[in-house]
Structure 1
Amino acid sequence: MRSGRAALLTGLAAMLGGCAITGSVPDLPRSDVQWGWSSEERELAQHSWLYAQLASNAYADPPEEYLLPGTIVARETYGNDGIGYAYAIFDRFEDDRLAETIIAYRGTEAQRLDLLWDDAVNGNILARHDMRGLETARAVAAQVDGRGAGRQVITVTGHSLGGGIAHYVSLSPVAENGGSVTRSVVFNNAPRRSAYDRAGNRTAIIERGDFLRFGRYFGREPVEIYRPIDCRSAEDHSVHHLADCLTWIAAFDEPDALASLQQNPDIRRPPAQNDPADPREGEAVSRALPINLYIADIAMRRAVNDAVRQSRLLRADYDRQAGLHLFVWKEADRVDVVLQRNGVSVLREGLDCAGVPLQECARAVVDVVEDALPAHLREAI
């Protein structure tokens, strides 16, 4: 759920759905505090920031969509079916090898009453989304088995209702040999399944102050599964604010999280950080968005690279895989442009550069790319 407008209704729905909680979750120890965050909080953030971003992107809300690391490819976002169930699938690659598939289950949508009703009734009270989530995980597991990808990890994640679905899936066999998903990492999850006392690689990041904490009072699930953190962003039950916070904290120690911070410049210091430190301090990098260029024609590549250097919004990155990929093909006077965001093509444009100097044509390429950038990122630069 993105906002607090439906907090009360969703909380009641979770309770009616048989919620159970894990008593009072103890605070994490606070050792080796740096930049306002303990080593335990920083370790938790490093473990979870990417999954929080994926859980947020599962809502398919463009104003809040993260630019993901270039090693992550969004397969597709599957919108609401007849009972309001929705999810997204992402693949993570290591050295061009598929290393992990992540299923991100969408949480409660509060913007539309019809979707809110489906999520509250079919998702929380009747728990019909649980079986849909399990069917999705079993289909993904069958694909993995079919490819013989024995080392591939399957992770489930989600926020609120989506987190409840993910934990349910982690408690059930998904493979023909009885195997389960590799791990579950969820955020402010609906606690309907916390009464299942079963070991497993499951982590629930819960915010101090989140309204669903009331549902975690009587559960039997081991408290070690829950990891509390105080980002002071729980007022609206927003996974996006929590993902911002976790990414920011992780960026102090982890290069990948720092790179994510740089390509999502709208992320700000969490309200709970009582230290003015910024993980980007000392980084001689502009706030422009990193983009990878894939251009076979040498002259065109040089011209586009020069045009990108003059851009306020973009910078060419040759050291790290970014969330933006630009492909340009030049044949005679025609130039074809494809922009990929998170591995998905979001722009296909053909330009007629007949009689146009190469530098002007390259500038036109960059112009159409800049126009296709998400508004919230353009405004943050």
Structure 2
Amino acid sequence: MSRLKPLLIALFLLGTTGCASLWNPRETSSCPAAPRETLNTPGCVKAMAALGYEYGVLAALAYEPQASPDLAPPAGVVEAESCTEIACDGAKGYQYRVFHRVRDGQVAEKIIAFRGTDGRGDWSTNLFGRKDQNRAALATFLRVRGDGTIPVSVTGDSLGGALAIQVSMCHPVHLRVALDASPRFYKSLCPGGRALPPPADADTKLLLFSETGEILSPTRWLGRNPDQLATRVDCIVGENTISQHDVRRLAACMIHRAVEGGSEDARRYRDANRRAFDRYLPDPQG
């Protein structure tokens, strides 16, 4: 029984995530952000983190403000809309925030940050396979996209990461950054019941970041995931798998890796938000 216990736990976690995709994660791709690197080498992790850390911060800010004290949006990004009620867009537990990236006084990008599990409504989705939040995320994306003249990106962690993946499976997005994502998405919800074809070659449009050893890792290994660039970061040591599944700490780790890679934008953000950085990741590994 002792040998079966880890497998049974992994199968339980997989069973509660409702995975429903037909694609495997791209774990061995070359690194588009650092052409001389392969995925998950130190140089690639740092380059990929520089591309995704701002969206990691916004995924953390999808929760109530008091959940992420001292954490500010990246420079030039402002909150434009939020839905933090018990039932947003008719879906139990579903919540999100919309941010705008502003350049020269104009909205250059819309970013939807889907909140992860944070209440009873979310657990009913997790445990009983309800698709209400997935449908709500697709409806939110279409409404925010509008006429399509402004690019829309999506982000989120855990259940929120799954919702971001759901949107990117069904509709073209400018960028999708999923963090510690649960494999809970359904191609049947896409127009015509068909998911978008996987990218022809490695690109940086569909990104997945996770902390090594966090609790949902087995579900992504055992399950099926959309074709995406999956980057594992290592900043948290001596913790259990649940405490490693923390979007604020993962976002801080992404900032740390981006600074290591020489990103001046990440360095400026870290220095301006040092209290938050030290709060969430006081002693990063590496």
Give the TM-score band, short-chain normalised.
0.7 to 0.9
Distance 2:98 2:226 in 1: 28
User: Do residues 91 (structure 1) and 100 (structure 2) align?
Assistant: yes
Distance 2:105 2:266 in 1: 20
Q: In the superposition, relative to structure 1, how do residues 31 and 103 fare at CA in structure 2: closer, same or farther (>3 Å)? A: closer
- Give the structure 2 partner of residue 225 of structure 1: 229
Structure 2: give runs of 5+ residues left out of the alignment: 1-8, 188-194, 200-204
- Give the structure 2 partner of residue 19 of structure 1: 19
Distance 2:220 2:56 in 1: 21
- TM superposition shift of 1:14: 5.8
User: Do residues 137 (structure 1) and 141 (structure 2) align?
Assistant: yes
- Give the structure 2 partner of residue 359 of structure 1: none
Q: Deviations over 1:242-274 (max 9, x none)?
A: 111111221242222112111211213664533
Match of 2:46 among 35, 42, 45: 42
- Give the structure 2 partner of residue 199 of structure 1: 198
- Give the structure 2 partner of residue 247 of structure 1: 255
Deviates more, 1:60-69 or 1:12-21: 12-21
Distance 1:159 1:225 in 2: 16
1:1-381 counterparts in 2 under 5 A?
12=12, 15-19=15-19, 22=24, 25=27, 38-65=42-69, 66-82=71-87, 83-109=92-118, 115=119, 117-122=120-125, 125-142=129-146, 145=147, 150=149, 152-173=150-171, 180-193=172-185, 198-200=197-199, 201-221=205-225, 224-232=228-236, 235-236=242-243, 237-252=245-260, 253-266=262-275, 267-268=277-278, 271-274=283-286
Q: In the superposition, relative to structure 1, how do residues 39 and 97 fare at CA in structure 2: closer, same or farther (>3 Å)? A: same
Q: In the superposition, relative to structure 1, how do residues 123 and 181 fare at CA in structure 2: closer, same or farther (>3 Å)? A: farther
Distance 1:122 1:194 in 2: 13
Distance 1:184 1:215 in 2: 20
For 1:208, give the aligned amino acid: T
- TM superposition shift of 1:202: 1.5
Q: Deviations over 1:262-287 (max 9, x none)?
A: 1211213664533xxxxxxxxxxxxx
Which one scores higher on RCO, CA 8 angstroms, separation ≥ 6?
2
Distance 1:139 1:123 in 2: 25
- TM superposition shift of 1:99: 0.9
Distance 1:27 1:244 in 2: 25
Q: Secondary structure at the match of 2:116?
A: coil
Distance 1:54 1:218 in 2: 28
Distance 1:218 1:154 in 2: 30
For 1:107, give the aligned amino acid: G
Distance 1:255 1:23 in 2: 30
Bigger proportion of residues as strand: 1
Q: In the superposition, relative to structure 1, how do residues 154 and 27 fare at CA in structure 2: closer, same or farther (>3 Å)? A: closer
Q: Deviations over 1:122-164 (max 9, x none)?
A: 356212100111111011111xx2xxx73x3200000000000
Q: In the superposition, relative to structure 1, how do residues 23 and 68 fare at CA in structure 2: closer, same or farther (>3 Å)? A: closer
- TM superposition shift of 1:68: 2.0
Normalised by the length of structure 2, the TM-score is 0.74
For 1:164, give the aligned amino acid: A
Q: Secondary structure at the match of 2:156?
A: strand
Distance 1:14 1:93 in 2: 40
- Give the structure 1 partner of residue 192 of structure 2: none
Residues 170 and 196 in structure 2, CA contact (< 8 A), matched pair in contact too: no
Residues 103 and 155 in structure 1, CA contact (< 8 A), matched pair in contact too: yes
Distance 1:108 1:240 in 2: 14
Distance 1:259 1:96 in 2: 22
What is the aligned length? 245
- TM superposition shift of 1:210: 1.0
- TM superposition shift of 1:60: 1.4
Percent identity, please: 27
Residues 23 and 218 in structure 1, CA contact (< 8 A), matched pair in contact too: no
Q: In the superposition, relative to structure 1, how do residues 272 and 197 fare at CA in structure 2: closer, same or farther (>3 Å)? A: farther
Normalised by the length of structure 1, the TM-score is 0.57
